[in-house]
Amino acid sequence: MRPISIETGVTKHAEGSCMIKVGDTHVLCTATIEERVPPFMRNSGQGWVTAEYGMLPRATNTRMRREAAAGKQGGRTVEIQRLIGRSLRAGVDRQALGERQITVDCDVIQADGGTRCASITGGWVALRLAVNKLLKAGDITTDPLLAPVAAVSCGIYAGQTVLDLDYPEDSEAGVDGNFVMTGAGRLIEVQMSAEGATFTHEQMARLMELADKGVSELVEAQKAAVA
């Protein structure tokens, strides 16, 4: 694992925020509370947690086209923000949250591999801080957050199973993916993809072991940050 740092309270407007740095990958995560839910949730008594993801045009080595200028979010962006939202919701008791929405925005300031995992890990910290605000204000009485949620990437690079790939490793890896887990070691999302390659059940098992270790370390960093 690359060095992890999570700085909280980095923006004055958001209900919860942090800057997470995993190696040279830096993501600004903010959580916004709104007293409304999407149409399909109205009058359900339950809340909603969703996420949006973006990358600054020059977060990467060569400048990428700004999605707002291109007129739409690319397939990769859509896929990532759906993953972040689903992952965070898995750790939330939506009944306890009450009929309100929390939107977690993850914006990549600098990218060096693993931006979606850093977004989930940092996004949970922003969510935790926003929920703390609701609890402190007495808007809710039961904590809706069931457990910390964190994510780590891993892959098979030059024949070896590796954890927390940086960009050069990631772009060379024939197999890579992400494990999203709770602080209690339960699985939320497992995604392993091969591009022009395949992998064995044994490799899959080894990647899972690595991921367990990585997530433990991330959850420690989360706990320290929100303490």
Instruction: Give the interface with a second copy as residue ranges (CB under 8 A).
Output: 11-14, 17, 24, 28, 30, 32, 34, 52, 54, 56-61, 63, 66-73, 75, 77-79, 82, 86, 89-92, 94, 103, 105, 107, 109-111, 177, 182, 185-201, 203-204, 208
Closer residue to a second copy (CB): 139 or 227: 139
Candidates 61, 155, 56, 159; CA nearest to 114 is: 155
CB 100 to a second copy: min, Å: 13
Which amino acid makes up residue 128? R
Task: Find out whether 25 is annotated in a ligand binding site.
Answer: no
CB 108 to a second copy: min, Å: 11
Q: In what helix (H) or strand (E) does residue 93 lie, and over which residues does it extend? A: none
Closer residue to a second copy (CB): 185 or 224: 185
DSSP secondary structure code for residue 40 in this structure:
G
Task: Find out whether 114 is annotated in a ligand binding site.
Answer: yes
Task: Find out whether 115 is annotated in a ligand binding site.
Answer: yes
Give the contacts of 81 (CB within 8 A, at least 6 positions apart). Answer: 51, 52, 53, 73, 106
CB 79 to a second copy: min, Å: 5
Beta-bridged to residue 92, according to DSSP, are: 145
Task: Find out whether 161 is annotated in a ligand binding site.
Answer: no
* C-alpha gyration radius of the chain: 17
User: How far apart are the C-alpha atoms of 163 and 33, rounded to whole Å?
Assistant: 34
Question: Which residues participate in the annotated binding site for phosphate?
Answer: 76, 114-116
Question: Which residues participate in the annotated binding site?
Answer: 76, 114-116
